[in-house]
Amino acid sequence: MKEISVQKIVKAVEELCLEANCVLNQDVVDALQRSLVTEESPQGKEVLELLLQNAEIAERESIPICQDTGMAVLFVEVGQDLHITGGSLTEALNEGVRRGYKKGFLRKSVVTNPFTRENTQDNTPAIIHYDVVEGDNLTLTLAPKGFGSENMGALKMLKPSDGLAGMMDFVVETVEKAGANPCPPIVVGVGIGGTMEKAAYLAKKALLRDIGSAHQDPELAKLEQELLGRINDLGIGPQGYGGRTTALGVSLEVFATHIAGLPVAVNINCHVARHRKIVLKG
């Protein structure tokens, strides 16, 4: 059986924390540059330019792109033929977050309890989604999530009769209600189907896709484009100052559901859209 030590995992997560928070992903840079061409509002254009400048400064000076360096969300695919040695996998992932947030001078934004709200001082615990897959690799995707955008998400258990039109309306309404709060231009992840928690999970997972990468199902890809068009017609624009670029991309993830339900979850991401992946080979 192939093996990976927890030390290797800690180190990998630590590095993901630094990269994800200080280096703007190329897909976002490309999307911002495309939007600069299509944006009609002078103020909107200026915001897009400043966001690109901001990313350059962050990368050059190794400081976070945004001060909200988020709650660390990890998607972990564990190969079923892999053996983790030297300790607990969950503890290793949290230790990596702890070290990364300390080393990178990232903000510690996690509180112990939603009511007493004492800061845990090390940005743990991380939110960890495990998936057991075939093979002997360990794939780690870190997607730190700021709460300016996270707070604007919504979930609705639609009726089957609401159908496609009901889903589309709910997504657009959610974005319109969010307005300037999630720091547009945003990226929109939509999870459709499953159960309540599955839809929410899929919406977050949809945000891992590169902006501008169409869904492999052409029908869903068409819906993504239609939603993007409707969202950008809202006129909210960069920072909500008015303009054409409210969203850079929309990603859908769909799953089987129950005869009585149509769960739809919308997870909004800000332009930073952090996600970094590493595959550790056993």
Partner 1 sequence: MSDQGRRIITPLDLEIVQSLRCGDRILLNGVIYTGRDAAHKRMIQALERGEELPFNLKDQIIYFVGPTPAPPGKVIGSAGPTTSGRMDAYSPYLIAQGLKGMIGKGLRSNAVIEAMKEYGAVYLGAIGGAGALLAGCIKEAEVIAYPDLGPEAIHKLVVEDFPVTVLIDSQGGNLYETGQKAYKR
The residue ranges that bind partner 1 (CB under 8 A) are 40-41, 43, 47, 50-51, 53-55, 57-58, 61-69, 105-109, 117, 119, 121, 148, 151, 179-181, 183, 233-237, 239-244, 270-272
> Between the CA atoms of 33, 36, 37 and 40, what dihedral angle is there, to the nearest 10 degrees?
160
Q: Distance between CA atoms of 191 and 201, rounded to whole angstroms?
A: 7
- Distance from chain centroid for Cα 190: 11
On the CB side of 106, CA atoms within 13 Å amount to 33
For partner 1, give the closer residue by CB, 123 or 141.
Answer: 123
Pairing of strands 82-85, 2-5: parallel
- Min CB(169)–partner 1 separation in Å: 16
- Min CB(26)–partner 1 separation in Å: 17
- Min CB(32)–partner 1 separation in Å: 11
For partner 1, give the closer residue by CB, 20 or 262.
Answer: 20
For partner 1, give the closer residue by CB, 61 or 134.
Answer: 61
Q: Distance between CA atoms of 265 and 254, rounded to whole angstroms?
A: 11
To 5 degrees, how large is the angle CA 242–CA 244–CA 248?
115
| Phi and psi, residue 128, nearest 5° | -120, 125
- Min CB(188)–partner 1 separation in Å: 16
- Min CB(190)–partner 1 separation in Å: 21
- Min CB(151)–partner 1 separation in Å: 7
User: Burial letters for 112-151: b for 16+ Cβ neighbours within 10 Å, e otherwise?
Assistant: eeeeeeeeeebbbbbebeeeeeeebbbbbbbbbbbebbbe
Q: Distance between CA atoms of 268 and 191, rounded to whole angstroms?
A: 11
For partner 1, give the closer residue by CB, 46 or 162.
Answer: 46
Residue 214: C-alpha distances to residues 56, 210, 220 (Å): 27, 9, 8
For partner 1, give the closer residue by CB, 109 or 251.
Answer: 109
For partner 1, give the closer residue by CB, 88 or 112.
Answer: 112
- Min CB(196)–partner 1 separation in Å: 25
For partner 1, give the closer residue by CB, 200 or 231.
Answer: 231
